[in-house]
Amino acid sequence: MLKVHFVANTRAGRVIWLLEELDLEYEVNIMPFTKEGLKSEEHRSRHALGRVPVLEDGDISIFESGAIIDYILERHKNGGLKPSVDSEVFPYYLQWYHYCEGMVMPPMNQIVVQTILLPPERRDETVLKQAQSLLSKSLAPVNKNLEGKDYLIGDFSAADLMLGHSCFMANRMGCVTDEMQNIKDYVARIEERTAFKTAIEMQ
């Protein structure tokens, strides 16, 4: 059975969401967001940096949420939740799937560091404002793309598991402005998906 090593409010939520969308059986090792939990010798044997998510599938153990999603789709769903390579939307599926980690998550990570992870005396307001500005700029093309669409490429796909999850987190952090109504509507649609509700209950 598939096993997910999970910490709340992290990219591991994407993996749980996918497994729920596909109605696959799995088990979860819910770990505390602490040094003792993530940096333990046991967990470092799964991920040398002590990060999540990690997926175990029999003798296979892999990390990186995007890689895990691709692996599950190919090994357990025969390529489901993504368009065929000859589809006219396939290039855009790839674009938005990877746009998440390339453009949206780096400033989001910095915002989390500056508002949550660092103690108040070590936070840098200049760095925070720069990250917030970059995140706003990075979300603008997403908002524009969603005009007239329910999901990133029209139909729901694994690109929404990646970028949609990040849009949800950005909105929850108060980083999606009122001018980005398409993203707000998009997040609302995501929040209504039964599989997402199940995943987010672990957050």
Domains in the chain: boundaries: 2-81, 90-193
Banded model confidence at residue 189, pLDDT cuts 50, 70, 90: very high
> pLDDT per residue over 45-67, tens digit each?
899 998 999 999 999 999 999 99
- What are the phi and psi torsion angles at 67 (to 5°)? -65, -40
pTM reported for the whole predicted model:
0.93
C-alpha dist (Å) from residue 116 to 34, 69, 121, 139, 196:
13, 27, 12, 21, 24
DSSP 8-state symbol, 187? H
Mean pLDDT over residues 124-143, rounded? 97
Q: Which superfamily does CATH assign the domain made up of 2-81 to? A: Glutaredoxin (3.40.30.10)
* Mean pLDDT, all residues of the chain: 95
The per-residue pLDDT for 203 is 66
The per-residue pLDDT for 180 is 98
**Could you tell me the strand order of the sheet in which 60-63 lies?**
26-30, 2-6, 54-57, 60-63
pLDDT above 70: residue 201 = yes
- Provide, rounded to the nearest whole percent, the portion of the chain with pLDDT above 90: 86
Mean pLDDT over residues 173-191, rounded? 96
CATH code, 90-193: 1.20.1050.10
